[in-house]
Amino acid sequence: MTNLSMTQVLEIWDELRDCLEGSNGYGGDTAEIYAYRLTKHHIPRPLGAEGYGDDVEDQIAASLTNLLRHFCLQHNCTAEIECSGVPHYSQVRIMPRPRNQGGSVPPFSHRAHIKIVRKDQS
């Protein structure tokens, strides 16, 4: 993982696991992950700012991508992501493939909706 604490990883992993089981509190098979949860010390965006800055948003995206790839490999599933706070409200699919293959989360500064789809349902 890139710059994520064990607590951050476990909290998000639990939400993804709930999605896999269809019991996530946000939307059954979909989790809502805010960017600040992927920053060091859960730092919110500066008041009035449109984002965190390219370096931090790149780290947020890389951290979430790595976590999702590992989760998808472990659980034979895919993750469909919609990120707000990026131009054109990006949609990406993370596939259970080795590193640097199968899609990447774009840098984002607000939130991502992550839908977990079992391979036998896709």
In a domain, 93, yes or no: no
Report yes or no: 39 and 52 within 8 Å, Cβ to Cβ. Answer: yes
Cα radius of gyration (the chain):
13
86 has pLDDT over 70: no
* Mean pLDDT of the region 38-65: 77
In a domain, 8, yes or no: yes
* Mean pLDDT of the region 90-96: 65
- From residue 75, give the alpha-carbon distance in Å to each of 2, 93, 100, 119: 21, 15, 18, 9
* Mean pLDDT of the region 51-76: 87
Domain coverage including residue 66: 1-76
In a domain, 24, yes or no: yes
Provide the pLDDT for residue 93: 73
In a domain, 60, yes or no: yes
Give the count of domains, the chain: 1
pTM of the model: 0.82
Q: What is the pLDDT of residues 37-50, one digit of tens each?
A: 998 766 666 656 66
In a domain, 90, yes or no: no
- pLDDT band at 89; cut points 50, 70, 90: very low
In a domain, 100, yes or no: no
In a domain, 82, yes or no: no
In a domain, 87, yes or no: no
Report yes or no: 19 and 116 within 8 Å, Cβ to Cβ. Answer: yes
